[in-house]
């Protein structure tokens, strides 16, 4: 259980709201970072012209179309100690404890992976759309002036796709900040409490409507903070939204 | 068929006045062209006639009916647009019949009318084509067919030839004139190209900065421009202007001097005026008999020569020290038209005369024309 | 970890995290591939790659494609493995092969529960919500995309702000509202309240997913040349007529994208779907309740849950297969050519 200590963010006993805020922020930032990076990789692959692209594209996009309850169930089963292989594997490389779905740290990781699996596809889709709107002629110009593929990526692809990328990240962050269904369908709100979890716990278990509304507003405030950051970044990248 | 009447049309946006108190009466069956530089308000004026823009003030009448508050569909007009504006998701037949179908004509009538319109613009056999499969000229003809099929009271044409190549534009110009003769309908035409305005219209309405400058037949605008703007805008290559002052014996500028009696031409000594001279009204001294009433000769230097085939354009400088302006013709420069066989070379010293019958005087402050002849 | 991720652990997050690198340092990585080969061959191969970088990029591309395919598809495959494993053998289910073979699970899900009814309920709710969102979103998209008026940006921001709140926040007032008996609704709904009706799910979900559609449609509608709308209006349509006869048809990819996104979002939604009905199929409980039922009423029938999941995914999977090209081009928002 040594690893549990090094991941201090879910400790029962600490103020619940603080935990929820921390879990939510950590989840939002980590998931968006990984989903953006992997999604970018997928989009770059899908942007190529190759035989069978249509089916590769469908395959990569399809996790995004999976209902949350099914997504949750898949990962619940994978990490179910008696059925799935995931626990055993993660234990063998020394990351997980005995019952990962009851441990906050392990569950956080499971929720994160499950979310990355599903929503990376959405990022890939949005980034791909951005990539496809880049004028191909620019690449020819770059090739003629002797730019290496890496330089072409750095000086053409990245700046031109930046607005689409930021918009995609904005929508993803807003979504990730409101995570609930996936947690409920895998580890449960008690194990990995997010802000929306708090809203629902306050509603269903203690019927504290005022508390629930307060947490909902807090979530909105945190999200609007992110939105402001993105909008400023968007303005700097010269890509007007709409 | 109907007349179109604009009364006090003004269109203000938050910080600009696009059209300022426009009054204009277009007669039944007349071909009137709004012409002016881009952004002068000519398109906005047309949009108020169409009902696509509501004027801030003023009224629009079509056929004696006040249509100011009617939506475009109820004004009895049809329109041809600059970017042609064919519906890309409909074939030729559907494009042409769109308005008729909306008005629930019966199928036979629609077929008959579409066929007739297609016949006029020579589109037979293309009914199934999609706009994307057609050339620019063909699309333009579909757009015109779509406009004429409804037998509107008036046609509005907003730069309909702007997107066509030069050859096709000249061709369509004659086509439109023929069409006007054939349909005998009121046509209001908008263009920034003075050549189109000159060649096709019964009357030209020259507009600048939202203000109507002159409404007159093309040649009147050419020969007797109401003000300096019209004089400079109508005619290609454009009129030469020389800024100067009225003196006792006539006109004097830095490089030129023209004798006339100020009193008979309505100017007073000391008044600042602009002299306007069309390039074809300047002659070499040896050809001065071609001028009805030549002035005395001026010295000039040939700067640049443009042989055009049927004529030669020569840019002259009144003095070797004059620096040719990079933007248009500056002070001390003069553009003249010469016969194609004129023996002239860049750098030559020449002597020129001007035809006094076609010297225009404009008041410098107001720009208004004072006289169009010094005889 | 970065060596041959494709062959090893398909769902490991670490491998996934490393993967965007190919685009970044493709050449080097390609050079490090296949470590168990003879040293000399590797060197020769690396040298070849360095002298011919295009080949290295090509190789990286194939490796990346393969990796992405495995990581995205494997969980589905494993779901099938679980579904085909007889219930008693579930603890022995393997990574790649089922423990036993029991395709009957795909029939059992319809006999133990009317699972088809649950899927139908979800399908219907999602369809109705999509139509509603497209209709309202089109009107809003037209106003925001094509009209210039004071306060436009402020209103647009307000639309976005609704997305800041956790949907759960809307549950409090909605729950009270939907459980209230409204006499006006009595002729329409036997109970007089919206709880246990499809409206209870599709109304809030339509509202929640509306902003995204407004943004997509707005972008599209704003790109239709003014001339086309003007032409339609001169030819005889009203503004509304021009919207539905010209602007919407010309924005087909955008409308399709907004529609597909809405449909999938509503079909997949978790929170409202799980709370707005009592979970019985005849009371319009959605697919989600059906899947969870295999967990609740009887013992936990994981194989049936897996089978039901596969069935429930089919409608959206087919939608993605059919519409994927439209979605991408729809998000690319290519301007309409005249």
Query: Does residue C72 share a domain with residue C113?
Result: no
Query: Does residue C233 share a domain with residue C98?
Result: no
Query: Does residue B337 share a domain with residue B216?
Result: no
CB pairs under 8 A between A and C: 212
- pLDDT, position C187: 58
Query: Does residue B8 share a domain with residue B102?
Result: yes
The DSSP letter of residue B238 is: P
Instruction: Return the residue of C nearest to A48 by Cα.
Output: C61
Query: Does residue C153 share a domain with residue C219?
Result: yes
Chains touching chain B, criterion 3+ CB pairs below 8 Å: C
Query: Does residue C75 share a domain with residue C118?
Result: no
- pLDDT, position B328: 64
Instruction: Say if CB B222 and CB B244 are below 8 A apart.
Output: no
Residue B216 lies in a domain: yes
Query: Does residue B110 share a domain with residue B194?
Result: yes
Q: Does A234 touch chain C (CB under 8 A)?
A: no
Query: Does residue B268 share a domain with residue B219?
Result: no
Q: Does A62 touch chain C (CB under 8 A)?
A: yes
Distance from CA of B357 to the nearest CA of C (A): 46
Residue C219 lies in a domain: yes
Instruction: Say if CB B283 and CB B352 are below 8 A apart.
Output: yes
Subunit contact C234:B98, Cβ cutoff 8 A:
no
Residue B277 lies in a domain: yes
Query: Does residue C142 share a domain with residue C55?
Result: no
Q: How many domains does chain B contain in total?
A: 2
Going by pLDDT thresholds of 50, 70 and 90, the confidence category of residue A232 is confident
Mean pLDDT of C123-135: 92
- pLDDT, position C333: 55
Query: Does residue C317 share a domain with residue C174?
Result: yes
Mean pLDDT of B253-272: 88
Distance from CA of B74 to the nearest CA of C (A): 7
| pLDDT > 50? residue C28 | no
Burial C301-317 (b: 16+ CB within 10 A, else e): bbbbbbbbbbbbbebbb
Query: Does residue B207 share a domain with residue B148?
Result: yes
Residue C338 lies in a domain: no
Query: Does residue C95 share a domain with residue C239?
Result: no
Q: Does C149 touch chain B (CB under 8 A)?
A: no
The DSSP letter of residue B322 is: P
Subunit contact C230:B81, Cβ cutoff 8 A:
yes
Residue where the block lists tokens 């685009």:
C23
Subunit contact B73:C235, Cβ cutoff 8 A:
yes
Query: Does residue B150 share a domain with residue B252?
Result: no
Chains touching chain A, criterion 3+ CB pairs below 8 Å: C
How many other CB atoms sit within 10 Å of the CB of residue B176?
23
Query: Does residue C118 share a domain with residue C85?
Result: no
Q: Does A236 touch chain C (CB under 8 A)?
A: no
Query: Does residue C235 share a domain with residue C96?
Result: no
- pLDDT, position B25: 94
C102, C122, C150 - which closes a domain: C102
Residue B234 lies in a domain: no
B227, B255, B284 - which closes a domain: B227
Going by pLDDT thresholds of 50, 70 and 90, the confidence category of residue C24 is very low
Residue C52 lies in a domain: yes
Interval B214-230: pLDDT, tens = 999 999 999 999 999 99
Interval C38-83: pLDDT, tens = 566 767 777 776 677 677 777 888 888 888 888 888 888 888 888 8
Interval B331-346: pLDDT, tens = 788 899 998 888 888 8
CATH of the domain at C275: 1.10.3720.10
Query: Does residue C115 share a domain with residue C173?
Result: yes
Q: Which of A7, A27, A41 to mutate to test the interface with C (most CBs of C within 10 A)?
A: A41
Task: Sort out which chain B residues have CB atoms less than 8 A from C225's CB and list them.
Answer: 83, 85
Find the CB nearest C227 among B77, B82, B103.
Answer: B82
Going by pLDDT thresholds of 50, 70 and 90, the confidence category of residue C4 is very low
Closest CA to B363 of B245, B218, B277, B200: B245
Interval A59-117: pLDDT, tens = 888 888 888 888 888 888 888 877 777 777 777 776 777 777 777 778 888 899 999 99
- pLDDT, position C23: 42
The DSSP letter of residue B368 is: B
Residue B188 lies in a domain: yes
Residue B130 lies in a domain: yes
Task: Sort out which chain B residues have CB atoms less than 8 A from C228's CB and list them.
Answer: 85, 87
Above pLDDT 70, what percent of chain B? 98
Residue B34 lies in a domain: yes
| pLDDT > 60? residue A240 | no
Rounded to an integer, what distance in angstroms lies between the CA atom of residue B30 and that of residue B28? 6
Query: Does residue C113 share a domain with residue C59?
Result: no
- pLDDT, position A242: 36
Mark which residues 90-129 of A lie under 8 Å from C by CB. 109, 112-113, 116-117, 120-121, 125-126, 128-129
- pLDDT, position C192: 59
**Mean pLDDT computed over every residue of chain B:** 90
| pLDDT > 50? residue C92 | yes
Find the CB nearest C231 among B47, B81, B150.
Answer: B81
| pLDDT > 90? residue B16 | no
Going by pLDDT thresholds of 50, 70 and 90, the confidence category of residue C8 is very low
For chain A, the three-class secondary structure string (H helix, E strand, C coil) is: CHHHHHCCCCCECECHHHHHHHHHHHHHHHHHHHHHHHHHHHHHHHHCCCCCHHHHHHHHHHHHHCCHHHHHHHHHHHCCCCCCCHHHHHHHCCCCCCCHHHCHHHHHHHHHHHHHHHHHHHHHHHHHHHHHCCCHHHHHHHHHCCCCHHHHHHHHHHHHHHHHHHHHHHHHHHHHCCCCHHHHHCCCCCCCCCHHHHHHHHHHCCCCHHHHHHHHHHHHHHHHHHHHHHHHHHHHCCCCCC
Query: Does residue B110 share a domain with residue B150?
Result: yes
- pLDDT, position B167: 85
For the domain covering A18-236, report its CATH number: 1.10.3720.10
Rounded to an integer, what distance in angstroms lies between the CA atom of residue B179 and that of residue B172? 10
Query: Does residue B319 share a domain with residue B200?
Result: no
Query: Does residue B348 share a domain with residue B287?
Result: yes
Domain ranges of chain A: 18-236
How many other CB atoms sit within 10 Å of the CB of residue C256?
18
| pLDDT > 60? residue A213 | yes
Radius of gyration, CA atoms only, chain B: 24
Count the residues in chain C: 338
**Which residues lie closer than 8 Å to C210 by C-beta, 6 or more apart?**
C133, C136, C137, C140, C159
User: Residue B297 is part of which domain span?
Assistant: 240-371
Query: Does residue C234 share a domain with residue C128?
Result: yes
C51, C81, C102 - which closes a domain: C102
B227, B259, B287 - which closes a domain: B227
CATH of the domain at B139: 3.40.50.300
- pLDDT, position B191: 93
Instruction: Return the residue of A nearest to C66 by Cα.
Output: A56
Residue where the block lists tokens 């004139």:
B177
- pLDDT, position A238: 56
Answer whether C touches A (≥3 Cβ pairs < 8 Å).
yes
pTM: 0.79
C73, C102, C131 - which closes a domain: C102
Chains touching chain C, criterion 3+ CB pairs below 8 Å: A, B
Name the most confidently modeled range: B113-127, C13-27, C153-167: B113-127
Subunit contact B71:C230, Cβ cutoff 8 A:
no
Task: Sort out which chain C residues have CB atoms less than 8 A from A120's CB and list them.
Answer: 16
Residue B138 lies in a domain: yes
- pLDDT, position A37: 92
Interval B60-99: pLDDT, tens = 999 999 999 999 989 989 999 888 889 988 999 999 999 9
Q: How many domains does chain C contain in total?
A: 2
Subunit contact A213:C172, Cβ cutoff 8 A:
yes
Residue B170 lies in a domain: yes
Query: Does residue B165 share a domain with residue B50?
Result: yes
Query: Does residue B249 share a domain with residue B220?
Result: no
Rounded to an integer, what distance in angstroms lies between the CA atom of residue B338 and that of residue B217? 27
Q: Does A45 touch chain C (CB under 8 A)?
A: yes
Query: Does residue B167 share a domain with residue B139?
Result: yes
- pLDDT, position B13: 87
Task: Sort out which chain B residues have CB atoms less than 8 A from C227's CB and list them.
Answer: 81-85
**Which residues lie closer than 8 Å to A74 by C-beta, 6 or more apart?**
A66, A114, C75, C78, C79, C309
Above pLDDT 70, what percent of chain A? 89
**Mean pLDDT computed over every residue of chain C:** 76
CATH of the domain at B283: 2.40.50.140
B192, B227, B262 - which closes a domain: B227
Answer whether C touches B (≥3 Cβ pairs < 8 Å).
yes
Q: What is the ipTM of this complex?
A: 0.81
User: Residue C53 is part of which domain span?
Assistant: 5-102
């Amino acid at each position: 259980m040594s690893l549990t200590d090094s991941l201090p963010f879910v400790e029962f006993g600490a103020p619940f709201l603080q935990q929820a805020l921390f879990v939510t922020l950590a989840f939002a930032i980590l998931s968006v970072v990984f989903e953006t990076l992997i999604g970018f990789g997928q989009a770059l692959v899908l942007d190529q012209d190759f035989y069978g692209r249509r089916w590769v594209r469908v395959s990569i996009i399809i996790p995004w179309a999976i209902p949350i309850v099914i997504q949750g169930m898949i990962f619940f089963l994978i990490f179910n100690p008696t059925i799935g292989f995931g626990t055993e594997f993660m234990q063998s490389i020394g990351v997980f404890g005995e019952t990962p779905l009851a441990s906050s740290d392990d569950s956080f990781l499971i929720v994160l992976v499950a979310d990355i699996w599903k929503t990376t596809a959405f990022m890939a889709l949005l980034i791909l759309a951005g990539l496809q709107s880049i004028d191909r002629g620019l690449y020819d110009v770059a090739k003629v002036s002797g730019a290496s593929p890496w330089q072409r990526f750095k000086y053409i692809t990245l700046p031109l796709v930046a607005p689409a990328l930021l918009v995609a990240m904005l929508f993803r962050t807003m979504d990730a900040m409101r995570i609930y269904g996936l947690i409920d369908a895998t580890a449960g709100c008690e194990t990995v409490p997010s802000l929306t979890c708090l809203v629902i716990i306050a509603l269903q278990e203690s019927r504290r409507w005022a508390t629930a509304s307060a947490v909902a507003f807090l979530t909105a405030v945190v999200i609007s903070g992110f939105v402001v950051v993105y909008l400023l970044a968007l303005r700097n990248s010269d890509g007007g939204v709409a | 068929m109907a007349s179109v009447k604009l009364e006090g049309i003004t269109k203000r946006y938050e910080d600009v006045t696009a059209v300022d108190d426009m009054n204009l009466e277009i007669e039944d069956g007349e071909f009137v062209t709004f012409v002016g530089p881009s952004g002068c308000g000519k398109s906005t004026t047309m949009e108020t006639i169409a009902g696509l823009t509501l004027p801030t003030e003023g009224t629009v009448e079509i056929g004696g009916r006040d249509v100011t508050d009617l939506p475009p569909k109820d004004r009895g007009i049809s329109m041809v647009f600059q970017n042609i504006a064919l519906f890309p998701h409909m074939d030729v037949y559907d494009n042409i019949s769109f308005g008729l179908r909306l008005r629930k004509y019966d199928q036979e009538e629609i077929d008959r009318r579409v066929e007739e319109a297609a016949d006029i613009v020579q589109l037979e056999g293309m009914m199934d084509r999609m706009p994307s499969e057609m050339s620019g000229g063909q699309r333009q003809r579909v757009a015109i067919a779509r406009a004429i099929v409804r037998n509107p009271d008036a046609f509005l044409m907003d730069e309909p030839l702007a997107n066509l190549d030069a050859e096709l534009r000249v061709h369509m110009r004659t086509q439109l004139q023929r069409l006007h003769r054939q349909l005998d309908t009121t046509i209001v035409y908008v263009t920034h190209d003075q050549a189109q305005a000159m060649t096709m219209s019964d009357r030209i309405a020259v507009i600048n900065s939202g203000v109507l400058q002159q409404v007159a037949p093309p040649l009147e605008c050419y020969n007797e421009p109401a003000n300096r703007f019209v004089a400079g805008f109508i005619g290609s290559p454009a009129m030469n202007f020389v800024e100067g002052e009225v003196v006792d014996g006539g006109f004097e500028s830095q490089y030129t001097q023209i004798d006339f009696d100020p009193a008979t031409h309505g100017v007073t000594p000391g008044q600042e005026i602009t002299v306007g001279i069309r390039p074809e009204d300047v002659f070499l001294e040896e050809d001065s008999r071609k001028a009805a009433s030549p002035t005395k000769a001026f010295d000039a230097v040939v700067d640049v020569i443009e042989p055009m085939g049927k004529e030669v354009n020569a840019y002259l400088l009144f003095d070797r020290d004059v620096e040719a302006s990079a933007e248009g013709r500056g002070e001390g420069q003069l553009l003249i038209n010469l016969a194609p066989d004129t023996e002239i070379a860049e750098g030559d010293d020449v002597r020129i005369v001007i035809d006094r019958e076609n010297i225009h005087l404009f008041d410098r402050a107001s720009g208004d024309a004072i006289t169009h002849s010094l005889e | 970890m970065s060596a041959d991720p494709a062959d090893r652990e398909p769902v490991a997050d670490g491998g996934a995290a490393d993967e965007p690198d190919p685009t970044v340092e493709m050449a080097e990585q390609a050079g490090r591939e296949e470590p168990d080969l003879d040293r000399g061959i590797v060197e020769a191969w690396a040298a070849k790659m360095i002298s011919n970088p295009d080949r290295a990029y090509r190789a990286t591309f194939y490796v990346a494609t393969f990796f992405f395919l495995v990581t995205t598809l494997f969980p589905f495959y494993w779901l099938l493995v679980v579904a085909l494993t007889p219930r008693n053998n579930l603890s022995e289910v393997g990574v790649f092969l089922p423990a036993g073979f029991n395709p009957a699970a795909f029939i059992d899900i319809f006999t133990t529960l009317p699972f088809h009814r649950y899927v139908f309920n979800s399908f219907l709710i999602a369809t109705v919500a999509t139509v509603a969102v497209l209709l309202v979103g089109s009107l809003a998209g037209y106003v925001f995309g094509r009209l210039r008026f004071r306060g436009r940006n402020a209103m647009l921001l307000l639309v976005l702000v609704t997305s800041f709140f956790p949907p759960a926040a809307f549950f409090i007032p909605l729950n009270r509202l939907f459980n209230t008996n409204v006499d006006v609704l009595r002729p329409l709904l036997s109970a007089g309240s919206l709880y246990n009706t499809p409206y209870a799910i599709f109304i809030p979900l339509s509202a929640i997913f509306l902003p995204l559609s407004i943004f997509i449609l707005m972008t599209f509608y704003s790109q239709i040349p003014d001339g086309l709308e003007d032409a339609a209006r001169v030819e005889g349509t009203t503004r509304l007529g021009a919207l539905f006869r010209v602007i919407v048809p010309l924005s087909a990819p955008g409308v399709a994208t907004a529609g597909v996104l809405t449909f999938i979002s509503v079909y997949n939604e978790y929170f409202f779907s799980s709370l707005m009905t009592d979970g019985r199929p005849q009371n319009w409980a959605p697919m989600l309740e059906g899947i969870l039922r295999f967990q609740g009423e009887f013992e936990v029938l994981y194989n049936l849950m897996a089978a039901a999941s596969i069935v429930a995914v089919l409608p959206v999977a087919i939608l993605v297969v059919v519409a994927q090209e439209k979605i991408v081009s729809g998000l690319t928002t290519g301007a309409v050519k005249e």
